[in-house]
Amino acid sequence: MTYVIKTDYANAIYTPYGGAAELMYCHDHEVIIQGPAETGKTLAACWKAHIIASKYPKAQGAIVRKTQKAVYGSVLQTFERVIEGAPVVPYGGEKPEKYIYANGSVIWVGGMDNPDKILSSERDFIYVNQTEELTQDDWEKLVTRATGRAAVVPYPQVFGDCNPSGSQHWIRKRQGIKLIRSQHKDNPTLVDQATGQLTPQGERTMGILSGLTGVRRKRLFEGIWATAEGAVYDTFGAAVHVKERERDEFTRFLMMMDEGYTNPAVILDVGIDGDGRLHIFREFYRRGVLQKDVVITAQSWRKDYRHFLVAVDAAAAGLIADLKDVGLPARGYKGRVLDGITLVQSYLAVKADGKPRLTIDPSCVETINEFESYTWKPEKDEPIKENDHAMDALRYGINAVDAPSARGLVDHV
């Protein structure tokens, strides 16, 4: 199946396969194409948005992600490749706020953190990139802005793409969403559609994806909606806890660390806002690095933000001493693992205002992976000592922040 979009400037050709083709023809009010990484989901959705705007003059559409900042470094790069050569003009400089078509159609750009423009009036269609990042409330707000009142496109629609998330994610439970499955064989850059054989790019990509482990493999390679069975932090969910926040929202900063060489050495850069909520801005997560290099990284981080504390395992006396030698405010924590886990769980809980006390930047992929992979021993009140390096660092830091006088902070000289 080939779609040809005729313009005064060029003929743009796109040939979708499998789930991508099904998305093109789907007229359901709510539809999401879902599947593992690198199946062509985002490309298909960008083409769908472009086709609708080109076909129906004066259509009003939107491209949305969880945060406006994330739109520019991801989906818009794909969208601009799609519209190359078409009579479409971006408006707003390097970070466009809308795309204006020669036929009068407009596609607005925005994030759910700043939804005024995209939700200010009725839209004929809304495309949501990385839908798994949104809450159900976010999605429903968008649904109310594409009900048919715009009356240009005969099938008003909110459509999205997503990678599988946890097994209990709201996307899988919501009535009314049509889920379309996208597979690696649908992507012609990975699989030759005539022979069914992997292309050279396909061999490289599938080699990388097949090497993933745990929950990440299940989601990004196998396309399974999965939370590790027996997860310690079973209330953790990307839609609630993974988000971007600005530094100027925070009043204090600290680092949380876990010692390692064969296992990863971990540093988490964490902010505390005026309401006592924590946000992990960035992570250092590396195997085989010398302790001096870990200390140098911590020093460089503190030049940017005057961290008031570096929380470390009390047993890591040498690391604490090295940190103190270069002027970093390192302190050691000791305490029961279960007490620390209980405290972290309380920070993950959503409060009466609908917000948790702990969030994580999307760039912290190793920490997010551990949240989804850290599990209990079968029939025991004890976690398995795997996928726990960022989790250990987090326990030290949260215990230190929550009640330092009662939680056993220990200084080492």
Go through the domains of the chain in sequence order and give each one's CATH number: 3-186 (3.40.50.300), 238-410 (3.30.420.280)
Tens digit of each residue's pLDDT (9 = 90 or more) over 50-80? 999 999 999 999 999 988 888 998 899 999 9
* Per-residue pLDDT at 120: 86
**Residue 303 main-chain phi, psi, to 5 deg:** -65, -30
Mean pLDDT of the chain: 90
pLDDT computed for residue 409 by the predictor: 45
**CA atoms of 232 and 380, how far apart (whole Å):** 12
- For the stretch 219-276, pLDDT in tens is 999 999 988 878 999 889 888 999 899 999 999 999 999 999 989 999 999 999 999 9
| Res 405: pLDDT | 47
Q: Residue 14 pairs with which residues in a beta bridge?
A: 3
Using CA atoms, how far apart are residues 64 and 112, in angstroms rounded to an integer? 7
What is the model's pLDDT at position 387? 86
Query: Cβ–Cβ contacts within 10 Å for residue 313, how many?
Result: 18
Other CB atoms within a 10 A radius of the CB of residue 151 amount to 9
- In degrees and rounded to multiples of 5, residue 66 shows phi and psi of -55, -45
The span from the CA of 314 to the CA of 183, in Å, is 47
pLDDT band at 412 (very low <50, low <70, confident <90, very high): very low
Contact predicate 278/272, CB 8 Å: yes
pLDDT at 7 over 60: no
CA distances from 257 to 116, 149, 284, 292, 358 (A): 39, 53, 9, 14, 17
- pTM for this entry: 0.76
* Region 131-143 average pLDDT: 91
Q: How far apart are the first and last CA of the chain?
A: 71
Mean pLDDT (whole number) for 391-402: 93
Residue 162's SS3 state is strand
Nearest CA to 398 among 353, 356, 366, 351? 356
3-class DSSP state of 289: coil
Extract the tokens encoding 144.
């109310």
CB 400 within 8 A of CB 331: yes
pLDDT tens digit string along 327-364? 999 999 988 899 999 999 999 999 888 899 999 998 89
High-pLDDT (> 70) share of the chain, %: 94
Per-residue buried b or exposed e for 10-24, using 16+ beta carbons within 10 Å of the residue's own CB: eebebebbbbbbbbb
Range 93-104 average pLDDT: 94
Structure confidence at residue 403 as a pLDDT band (50, 70, 90)? low
What is each CA distance from 378 to 35, 203, 229, 385, 389, in whole angstroms?
30, 37, 10, 13, 20
Question: What is the number of other CB atoms lying within 10 angstroms of the CB of residue 128?
Answer: 25
- In tens, the pLDDT along 306-331 reads 999 999 999 999 999 999 999 999 99
Residue 5's pLDDT is 53
Q: What is the C-alpha to C-alpha distance for residues 106 and 88, in angstroms, rounded to an integer?
A: 9
Reported as a single tens digit per residue, the pLDDT across 161-209 is 999 988 878 899 899 999 999 999 999 999 999 999 999 999 999 999 9
Work out the number of other CB atoms within 10 angstroms of the CB of residue 353: 7
> Has residue 396 got a pLDDT over 60?
yes
Can you give the pLDDT at residue 48?
96
